[in-house]
Chains A and B, each alone.
Chain A
Amino acid sequence: MAQPFSPGSAASDARLRGAAEVDSICPYCAVGCAQKVYVKAGRIIDIEGSYASPVNEGTLCPKGANTYQLVANADRITEVRYRAPYSDHWETRPLEWALDRIAQRLVAARERDFVERNAAGDVCNNLPTVGCLGGATLDNEENYLIKKLFNGGLGIVSIENQARI
């Protein structure tokens, strides 16, 4: 004999009703699984695989299935942190302040260390004492901006990513 349904059971449904559905790509490995990101009131409420993709056809691995926890995570840092020389703690700073200061640091290094000709007399026009690392987890467009600004603009030569590790 069937037990009766409670009001909660009867009213339950998937929380996706009314959510905006956005197409995304998994940020972990290079398989390139397509994801559906569901948003309500500016908040991501669910991330799952996209059935449409010929790569993953709705599926995800445990890391892909975990993507939501990259977005909503108590460990996630959401403000600029600054550690002064010789300090033993972080301080919170405004974003604009940090950008200004980083620009100053870059300019100072460039003014000091830019090499027009190296010791052998070869034309270099490079800045060998500042490096830039990372890119394999970023978008193509971001890699393009990094290479363009830091290399084509500032002359930084040690621009590298995860490809060699």
Chain B
Amino acid sequence: MPAAFFTAAAQPAPQEPTGFFTDATLCIGCKACEVACKQWNQLPADGYEWRGTSYDNTHALSAATWRHVAFAERPCDGGGRSAPAALAPPPAESAIGTELGAPIRWLMVSDVCKHCRQAPCEEACPTGALIYNEFGNVYVQQDICNGCGYCVSACPFGVLDRAESDGRVHKCTLCYDRQKDGLEPACAKACPTDSIQFGPLSQLRARARQRLEQVRARGEDQAYLYGAEPAGEYSSLGAFFLLTDAPEAYNLPAAPRRPRAHLPRNYAWTALTAVAMAAVAGWAFAASFGREAAAPRRPAEAENEVA
């Protein structure tokens, strides 16, 4: 691990890990979370750009936008509660076809930093700016961050972003300052429908599983939890979701990649490549002394063997 470049403060005692459970079936797309976040953290607006993509005009998480509501207008595949247009008639003689009058479902969910339990950004940070704080949340220490941006490319969700103003990386702090004083994070507090819930992760997960059963029982067969449990190479998330459509519909990766999970293999490739290069060099050296040297093996073949 890198040496501490600063006078480390006293390590606070770990608390029960906290996080967010965001339930898409309750989201009304109001964006109160976005504004409450900007208000508490006094973040600037990202700019006034109309995008024509449903009602999404902030478009993505950024250094100044730490909550972002995604919208998706999807064709309705029939059945289920969120088939609100089920009564809607297609115009009988539509020139274009009935598709244009077909019922749709309008998906909304509030995205945020996932506060991964094993966070690639933390793993990539060379300065010690990114830490797990005492609540188990992933936190960028502003007095440490040097703006190198390694974390930006490490994050599979595109959460981390470097600000042009101060050159540092800013993202959701999970209202670290508020949690320290026993206050609920601003977004979860503001959310009118409790689509965003905050609490100890163990409780949130239990609540989410219960909620999932409830939602499925009333006909939302496609509902599932995203990030509540580890999946593939990825850890569970400190901010997980209940969704009713494919992750891609909400701009979430179906299988997020954690760079460090690939490290052993990458190191192995590197080592083998080095060996192969040495072999090539040796062969070239030998070849310069005689035509009877053995035929070389290409590095690619060596890689294939490793794989």
Q: Which residues from chain A sit less than 8 Å from chain B, CB to CB?
A: 1-17, 46-49, 56, 58-66, 68-69
Contact = CB atoms under 8 A, between A and B. Distances in A.
A4 B141 CA distance: 10
Given A13-B181, A61-B30, A48 B186 contact: yes
Interface of B: 1, 4, 6-12, 30-32, 34-36, 39-40, 122, 125, 128-133, 139, 141-144, 176-178, 180-181, 183-184, 186, 189-192
Nearest to B134: A5
A48 B183 CA distance: 12
A68 B141 contact: no
A14 B32 contact: no
Cβ-closest 10 pairs across A and B:
A10-B9, A4-B8, A8-B143, A65-B35, A14-B181, A65-B36, A3-B131, A62-B35, A6-B141, A59-B192
A3 B178 CA distance: 21
Given A16-B183, A65-B39, A4 B4 contact: yes
Contacts of A13: 177, 180-181
Contacts of A64: 32, 190
B31 A62 contact: yes
A12 B261 CA distance: 33
B192 A60 contact: yes
A12 B190 contact: no
A65 to B, nearest CB: 4
A69 B9 CA distance: 35
Given A9-B141, A59-B189, A59-B192, A69 B39 contact: yes
A49 B10 CA distance: 34
Nearest to A5: B9
A59 B191 CA distance: 6
B69 to A, nearest CB: 10
Contacts of B9: 4-7, 9-11
Interface centre among A2, A3, A56, A59 (most CB of B within 10 A): A3
A12 B132 CA distance: 15
B39 A46 contact: yes
15 contacts: A3-B125, A3-B128, A3-B130, A3-B131, A4-B8, A5-B141, A6-B9, A8-B142, A12-B177, A13-B181, A14-B177, A15-B177, A61-B190, A62-B32, A64-B190
A58 B4 contact: no
B132 A58 contact: no
Given A2-B11, A4-B6, A60-B36, 16 more contacts: A2-B132, A3-B130, A3-B131, A5-B8, A6-B6, A7-B9, A10-B12, A13-B177, A48-B186, A59-B189, A59-B190, A59-B191, A61-B192, A62-B32, A65-B190, A66-B35
B176 A12 contact: yes
Nearest to B182: A14
Contacts of B176: 9, 12
A72 to B, nearest CB: 10
Given A14-B180, A48-B36, A5 B30 contact: no
A6 B39 contact: no
B32 A7 contact: no
